[in-house]
A and B are shown apart, each in its own frame.
Chain A
Amino acid sequence: MKEPVIGGRLVAMRERLPLLELFLAALCLWGAWYHTPAGALVRTAGAFVFRTRSTARPLLAYFGAGTLVPPRTPPALAGPVPPAQALAFGVAAVLDGSAVELAPRLRELSQRLGSDDAALLAVFCGEDAAHFAVDEARTMALDDLARALPPRSEACIARAAQAAMLGGAYALGWPLPETVQITSPFGVREHPILGHRRLHAGIDLGASPGMPVRAVAAGVVRRASSDGINGRILVLDHGRGVVTTYCHNDALLVRDGQRVERGQIVARSGSTGLTTGPHLHYQIDLAGEPVDPLRFRTHAPKFAAGASD
């Protein structure tokens, strides 16, 4: 085939093409190395072969733009958390700072950047990073904002995600009137029916049959189903890794995938599933791990007589 006639500049460019290709290949390798589970596998294997320490994150932590991190244990609360300052309490728990001092700064950042999640990024990754993420991200949710940032922001994104998670948990309301007593707390206990010791992943509230159960925050119904153990079970996803579960209901008033608002009646309590009597099992999960709902409240309902660990 006849070689096409091309100008001198084009020839020179073509001769330099390998440099551009090397540069692009290096960029792709850099992206794959730090940004993908496959890269993490290679890094870990390399560290194993050369007997060094791998800096790769666990493979599953590469999803959700690094925002799917294990929750921090929140410090004991000294006083009540005003709903408007819940996020500041989350940030303070991660930074070991004062929520009262952090609240005005967060509020100002939130107004300037357009969302609470962007304000969190500004606190942990710097204002430049937050501005950049706001400009580039599709939505103002933390995982989307985090996706816009380069790989070196991993550590600060993880801290922002932990603060968001704790802030989200501090902002939760309560599913029943606070006069309803706790009949079984969170923690390892002897199961009243099955007998053996196991973790009670939530708290039991002595609700009477038919009592309205309210959503503790706005969210999306992740599961509204029924089985012989949990009875009629409702799982609400509130975002930022915060999920609440309501078991043993008599009736579910919402459907899978439905959006609910804070305070909306989502179920009526009952005694369905494996129970010794009518009650509501209320559970909070942070990043998929159950935590004690009372850790996020100072005014907890009273314990019923006989309720014990």
Chain B
Amino acid sequence: MELRVSERVNRFRWVFLPVGLCALTAVGAHAAADVVGDRLLFLVDRVDAFFDAIWSSWSVTKPLVELVGLTQRTWFARAIALCWELAADALIAIPLLAYEEREAVEEWRLGRDLLRRARSPLRLVRPLATLLVAFAGACSVARMVQGSVQLALHLSWLGHVARALVLLSALVVLVPRAAFRSLEHARTARHGIAAAVILVPLLIAAVGAWR
């Protein structure tokens, strides 16, 4: 009976597996973008102070100084974080929807082959970012599961077990597939430098989101 269910589920792998990989990476990208929110606010403040000093030098441009106040600065900082996250989603999460499953052995062989042929470091930015962001996503999802289990059932040990199981399963089942698909996608992807500008800070932030 259980196997029959498993077989039926197996028929829809081509749908839920890519969607799961995409969702995992999206969760990780949000965790990473959220980590740098405060730093972005400081950065926006510095940039605004710099431009205020310039605008206030001439009477014509003086009104521009008050155009951007604290409300707008806070909004800008959050909007930058949002745009950054959505750009990262477009670069590394959406391509995972095209994941086509192969035998694990074949995926491993193909992955090594792709790695060997990826001479430019720019080609490795996407897979590396996907790997680290997916790891951050796995940590986030596992934490959410722990919180939900622990607060619903009031069993601390069960929450910890659920977290460990989800984290381990996601690291074994989903994260390597996300990295493999990204490696495959990086071979044909364009805009390498633009992608690196967006993804390099994100992969550093993703490490900050691991917990």
A228 touches B26 (CB 8 A): no
- Interface-centre pick from A1, A28, A136 (highest chain B CB count, 10 A): A28
Please tell me which one of the listed residues A21, A149, A274 contacts residue B173 in the complex, with CB atoms under 8 A apart.
A21
Q: How far is the CB of A4 from chain B (nearest CB, A)?
A: 8
Q: Is the CB of B82 within 8 A of A59?
A: yes
> CB-CB contacts of B71-98 with A at 8 A, as 1s and 0s?
1011100110110011001000100000
Which residue, of A27, A62, A243, A290, has the highest number of chain B Cβ atoms within 10 A?
A: A27
Residue among A60, A65, A138, A201 with the highest chain B CB neighbour number at 10 A: A60
A147, A223, A228 — which one has the most chain B CB atoms within 10 A of its CB? A228
Q: Across the interface, do B30 and A36 meet the contact criterion of CB distance under 8 Å?
A: yes
Chain A CB within 8 A of B145 CB: yes
Q: Is the CB of B27 within 8 A of A243?
A: no
Q: Please state if A1 and B148 are interface contacts (CB–CB under 8 Å).
A: no
Which interface class (under 10, 10 to 19, 20 to 34, 35 or more) fits A?
A: 35 or more
Contact: B147 with A132, CB < 8 Å? yes
**Does B107 belong to the interface (CB within 8 Å)?**
no
B71–A290 CB distance below 8 A? yes
Cβ B65 vs Cβ A230 within 8 A: yes
Contact with A along B1-37 (1 / 0, CB 8 A): 0110110011011001101111110110110011001
Tell me the complex Cα distance, A26–B169, Å: 13
Instruction: Type the 1/0 row for B148-175, where 1 means its CB is closer than 8 Å to any CB of A.
Output: 1011001000010000001001100110
Q: In the complex, identify which listed stretch (A12-20, A263-271, A292-300) lies at the interface while the others stay far away.
A: A12-20
Task: List residues of chain A with CB within 8 A of the CB of B78.
Answer: 60, 63, 68
Q: Are B70 and A290 in contact (CB under 8 A)?
A: yes
Q: Are A225 and B53 in contact (CB under 8 A)?
A: yes
* CB-contact partner of A288 in B9, B37, B71, B211, under 8 A: B71
Whether A36 pairs with B169 at a CB distance below 8 angstroms is no
- Asked if A36 contacts B16 (CB within 8 A), the reply is no
Q: A15-B6, A22-B16, A227-B56 are in contact. Are A38 and B70 (CB under 8 A)?
A: no
- Across the interface, do A152 and B148 meet the contact criterion of CB distance under 8 Å? yes
Q: What is the chain B residue whose CB lies nearest that of A129?
A: B151
- In the complex, whether B105 has a CB less than 8 A from a CB of chain A is yes
- Other than the known A37-B86, A60-B75, A223-B49, what 16 A-B pairs have Cβ atoms closer than 8 Å? A15-B6, A17-B6, A18-B10, A18-B13, A28-B23, A60-B78, A62-B30, A62-B34, A62-B82, A136-B146, A223-B45, A227-B55, A228-B55, A235-B45, A285-B71, A289-B71
Residues of chain B having any CB pair with chain A under 8 Å? 2-3, 5-6, 9-10, 12-13, 16-17, 19-24, 26-27, 29-30, 33-34, 37, 41-42, 45-46, 48-49, 52-53, 55-57, 62, 65-66, 69-71, 73-75, 78-79, 81-82, 85-86, 89, 93, 105, 137, 140-141, 143-148, 150-151, 154, 159, 166, 169-170, 173-174, 211
A residues lining the B interface (CB < 8 Å): 1, 4, 15-22, 24-33, 35-39, 59-60, 62-65, 68, 126, 128-129, 132, 136, 138, 147-153, 201, 222-223, 225-230, 235, 243, 245, 256-257, 273-274, 285, 287-290
For this complex, 26 residue pairs linking A to B, each with C-beta atoms less than 8 Å apart, are: A16-B2, A25-B19, A26-B20, A27-B141, A28-B141, A31-B24, A31-B27, A31-B137, A32-B24, A35-B27, A35-B140, A35-B144, A37-B85, A38-B89, A38-B93, A59-B82, A62-B82, A128-B154, A129-B151, A132-B159, A136-B143, A150-B147, A226-B53, A229-B62, A288-B70, A288-B73
